[in-house]
Amino acid sequence: MYDGQSRTTRFQLSKALFRSSLAANEKVEPHVLKIIGLIEQLEKLGCTLGKELSQDLILQSHSDSFSQFIVNFNMNKMSCDLHEMLNLLIDYENQIASEKKKGIVMVVGKSSKKKGKVPKRKHLGPKGGMTKPKNTRNKIDQTNAKCFFCKEKGQWKRN
């Protein structure tokens, strides 16, 4: 009697697991946590999927925007548990979001060439990969500096 219930439950869990996919505007964290929960419930019922198959199911449920992450993950043969994989996916999602915010800036300059020719466009955005952090300016002690507005020491007009 109980065997039929566990079999039905296992069927429903595996169906939900294999059909899960990340929607376009959905966040990675709740999606992956749902999948991890389904995998853990299946393991409680005696259906062990294994680490690599579990990772593959999580990766297959993501959209094409995660294709670069999937390639890097498989090439580097990362050995991590599912929760570490979740953290990596969240980091990658944040990286994608920051790249979308930056966008691509196009500058059209005046040309001294003859009319009729198309002006050259310069690409000022990042060329891909990781960008170097901006150099921070050397902090100069300005406590003795005079304000140009009120001529007081250690105080500036903007403050």
pLDDT at 25 over 70: yes
Is 6 a domain residue?
yes
Predicted confidence band of residue 120 (pLDDT cuts 50, 70, 90): low
Is 42 a domain residue?
yes
Dihedral angle, C-alpha 17, 22, 26, 30, nearest 10 ° = 30
- Please indicate whether residue 142 or residue 74 has the higher confidence score (pLDDT): 74
Owning domain of residue 47: 2-100
Distance CA 114, CA 118 (A): 10
Distance CA 76, CA 125 (A): 28
What is the per-residue pLDDT across 63-80, written as a single tens digit (0 to 9) for each?
Answer: 888 888 888 888 887 778
Three-state DSSP class for residue 63: coil
Residues in the chain: 159
Looking at residue 1, its pLDDT comes to: 43
pTM of the model: 0.56
Is 113 a domain residue?
no
Is 74 a domain residue?
yes
Is 145 a domain residue?
no
Is 150 a domain residue?
no
Is 146 a domain residue?
no
Predicted confidence band of residue 138 (pLDDT cuts 50, 70, 90): low
What is the residue-averaged pLDDT of the chain? 76
Is 35 a domain residue?
yes
pLDDT at 11 over 50: yes
Tally of domains in the chain = 1
Predicted confidence band of residue 124 (pLDDT cuts 50, 70, 90): low
* Residue 121: its H or E element: strand 121-123
